[in-house]
């Protein structure tokens, strides 16, 4: 029988999940069609000079910068106020895009980035406070999850109405997120929940998704509408499958990372997550900026190499942490989740 404390923590997590579901139903829908949306607006309104990839580059730039201040802000105001302000800032991105004014779109991206720093740092802190070790399951957006949605929408050989696949891409990525989270729960219930296993699963899932995208999408599809063919003409079913794999990999990746960071810094989770997200968001911003410069295939090759380097680094860090904690006997609970 569950204790009342555990029941309340579970209730808190469910409540937060429902709030994030409502908020990101709007934001995620727009994020997956933002590139195709800006291109379509420019066709009808040439004075509109905003670019979808640049919008997200700005978001993640300000998110990264905001990570230096968000822990202090949360320490002063508390996670409740920080979550509220962060959610309110997200609304600006969806609302201001309606006016089709370039500088206003970019300004709303900056506001969203600042709000995201508060929202995600407070969320991570709140989840750690309401979770047992190993029970943290977050949702994050990787650069390529938006790029592949735009690429599907721009590839005309798939269908004359190929842009209809952009929002479907987001739906399937969300479905993959659910599969990844459930898979991690299954691992835990079967008593072989290990962070290194989850991280390896995430890497393999992402890499298989990258391979399908390289083979099935033309190199120029990241820029705009294209009549070019891919390296291999594969059924649309497989291209849609790549979205599920990438979503599943995203979920497993961040489950492993969040659990690891939350375990290492149980009493200072806000600062630990802030440093982690600063580095991650800075890299994500750079990726969005170069998405307009280099082709899809080179982007995927970069991600392919970074994925394996990240896997090696994670295993090394995990192994080093385990040896240190076993030696010092400071956090023996970490051994339950490693190797």
Same domain, 173 and 305: yes
Torsion of CA 209, 213, 215, 217, to 10 degrees: 170
Query: What is the pTM for the complete model shown?
Result: 0.76
Q: Decide if 272 is inside a domain.
A: no
- Cβ neighbour number for residue 111 with a 10 Å cutoff: 20
Write out the two tokens for 280. 């991650």
Distance separating alpha carbons of residues 211 and 214, to the nearest angstrom: 5
Nearest to 252 by CA among 309, 311, 294: 311
Q: Decide if 271 is inside a domain.
A: no
The DSSP secondary-structure symbol of 3 reads -
Same domain, 79 and 160: no
Same domain, 307 and 192: yes
Write out the two tokens for 284. 């994500």
Same domain, 38 and 121: yes
Same domain, 160 and 81: no
Same domain, 146 and 86: no
pLDDT by 10s per residue, the chain, length 339: 444 445 677 777 778 878 887 888 778 778 878 888 888 888 888 888 889 889 989 999 999 898 888 888 888 888 889 999 999 998 888 888 788 889 999 999 999 999 998 998 888 777 767 765 545 574 433 466 777 777 888 888 888 787 778 878 878 888 888 888 888 777 666 544 577 888 888 999 999 999 999 999 988 888 888 888 888 888 888 889 998 999 899 888 888 887 888 777 777 766 777 788 788 888 888 888 888 888 889 988 988 898 899 899 888 888 887 777 666 555 445 444 444
Same domain, 18 and 167: no
Same domain, 197 and 333: yes
**Residue 101 structural domain:** 10-133+280-293
Q: Decide if 19 is inside a domain.
A: yes
Split into its structural domains, the chain has a count of 2
Same domain, 128 and 143: no
Same domain, 242 and 298: yes
Distance separating alpha carbons of residues 191 and 185, to the nearest angstrom: 10
Q: Decide if 96 is inside a domain.
A: yes
Same domain, 239 and 111: no
Same domain, 126 and 228: no
């Amino acid at each position: 029988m569950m204790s009342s404390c555990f029941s309340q923590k579970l209730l808190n997590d469910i409540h937060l999940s429902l709030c994030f579901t409502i908020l990101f139903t709007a934001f995620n829908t727009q994020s997956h069609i933002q590139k195709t949306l800006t291109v379509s607006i420019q066709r009808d309104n040439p004075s509109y000079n905003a670019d979808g990839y640049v919008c997200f580059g700005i978001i993640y730039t300000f998110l990264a910068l905001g990570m230096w201040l968000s822990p202090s802000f949360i320490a002063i105001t508390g996670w409740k106020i920080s979550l509220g302000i962060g959610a309110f800032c997200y609304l600006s991105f969806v609302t201001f895009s309606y006016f089709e004014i370039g500088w206003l779109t970019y300004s709303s991206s900056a506001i969203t980035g600042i709000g995201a720093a508060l929202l995600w740092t407070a969320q991570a802190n709140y989840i750690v406070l309401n979770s047992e070790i190993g029970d943290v399951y977050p949702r994050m957006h990787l650069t390529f999850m938006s790029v592949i949605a735009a690429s599907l929408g721009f590839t005309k050989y798939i269908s004359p109405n190929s842009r209809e696949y952009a929002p479907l891409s987001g739906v399937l990525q969300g479905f993959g997120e659910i599969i990844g989270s459930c898979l991690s729960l299954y691992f835990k219930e079967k008593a072989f929940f290990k962070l290194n296993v989850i991280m390896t699963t995430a890497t393999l899932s992402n890499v298989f998704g990258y391979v399908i995208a390289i083979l099935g999408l033309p190199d120029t599809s990241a820029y705009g509408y294209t009549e070019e063919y891919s390296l291999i003409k594969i059924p649309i079913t497989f291209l849609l499958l790549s979205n599920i794999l990438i979503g599943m990999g995203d979920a497993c990746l961040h489950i492993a990372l969040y659990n690891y960071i939350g375990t290492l810094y149980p009493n200072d989770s806000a600062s630990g997550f802030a440093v982690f997200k600063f580095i991650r968001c800075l890299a994500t911003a750079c990726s969005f900026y170069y998405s307009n410069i280099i082709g899809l295939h080179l982007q995927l090759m970069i991600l392919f190499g970074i994925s394996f380097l990240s896997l090696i680094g994670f295993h090394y860090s995990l192994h080093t942490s385990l040896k240190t904690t076993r030696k010092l006997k400071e956090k023996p609970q970490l051994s339950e989740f490693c190797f």
